[in-house]
Structure 1
Amino acid sequence: MRAIVLLLFSNIFMTIAWYGHLREQNVPYWKVILISWGIAFFEYCLMVPANRIGYQAGVSAFQLKMIQEVITLVVFGVFAVVYLKEPFHWKYIVSFLFLLGAVYFMFKK
């Protein structure tokens, strides 16, 4: 559970680093890159321990990656709707359900 919490916070930092600048089109690329790198540092400080903790707890690398991708999509979905003010379409829900199916099969014994 600790690994999942760390992955959640890691993905919040990652999403802000990668997409937070999209509303600020007047900021030069070099500034955006430096700011994003600074934010991404904190993402790595959470992601690396999350993966190690999860792996030591018996979660495979494939499973960790799948968990991380689902968390990324949830965090990004909230971010895109709330911060970027993008519309949320029904096809995104269908796509997400297919990904959850993939997670189910990833963990199926």
Structure 2
Amino acid sequence: MKLTYAITNENLIYYLSPSDIKAAINQAYSRWDCLIPVSFSEMLDCVTTHIKIGFYIGDLDDKYPLDGPHRVLAYASAAENGGVHFDATKTWAVDFRLDKSRDAIDL
């Protein structure tokens, strides 16, 4: 099975560069490629992709509100919607040598 994914340009977080976010997501999908019988390919836009990745705040009208700085880190919506929603109120990090926040979560 082959699935495509894209990172939204509109729903990012200001303190991580788009290239750092892209690298972290690509690394995660590369790891999945090695473990399951699915291959993942990055696309440049979200229009025709299977999986749309972004950072959001609060209720997205899909029954799974992001809860702010507490429990829910992220979730994936049903396959027909293809959304992966990271909670933008969390402190995400891609390099713990640079990010010294005690609250940072490895993207």
Same fold (TM over 0.5): no
Whichever structure has more strand as a proportion of its residues is 2
Whichever structure has more helix as a proportion of its residues is 1
Structure exhibiting the larger radius of gyration computed from Cα positions: 1
TM-score of the pair, normalised by structure 1 = 0.30
TM-score of the pair, normalised by structure 2 = 0.31
Asked which structure has the greater RCO (Cα within 8 Å, sep 6+), the reply is 1
